[in-house]
């Protein structure tokens, strides 16, 4: 009877080891949950960026104001008859 009890205790301890530290155990589950949380955060950030890009695309398709703004900011273009002033900070 003692041998049977010792064998059961050994099997129970082995199963506990696999539950807590083995493959697909509690430790792996925690790590996977952290990975999923990081992936969700990254996906939310990318979705926000995509929304901004689609909004900008719509603005560029609909009117010339957005195109003019981009040309002024990125290319430094000036309309005919305008005077361009550039303020250079000291230093």
Please answer whether residues 25 and 19 qualify as being in contact, where contact means their C-beta atoms are separated by less than 8 angstroms: yes
CA distance 21 to 51: 42
SS3 at position 77? coil
Q: What is the pTM of this model?
A: 0.54
**Alpha helices, DSSP H only, in the chain?**
2-21, 26-62, 64-75
With bands split at pLDDT 50, 70 and 90, how would you rate the model's confidence at 46? very high
Q: What is the pLDDT of residues 18-44, one digit of tens each?
A: 888 888 888 889 999 999 999 999 999
Q: What is the pLDDT of residues 77-89, one digit of tens each?
A: 888 888 888 889 9
């Amino acid at each position: 009877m003692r041998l049977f009890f010792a064998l059961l205790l050994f099997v129970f301890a082995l199963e506990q080891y696999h539950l807590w530290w083995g493959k697909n155990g509690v430790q792996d589950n925690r790590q996977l949950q952290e990975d999923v949380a990081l992936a969700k955060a990254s996906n939310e950030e990318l979705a926000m960026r995509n929304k901004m890009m689609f909004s900008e695309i719509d603005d560029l398709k609909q009117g010339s104001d957005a195109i003019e703004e981009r040309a002024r900011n990125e290319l430094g273009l000036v309309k005919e008859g305008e005077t361009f002033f550039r303020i250079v900070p000291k230093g």
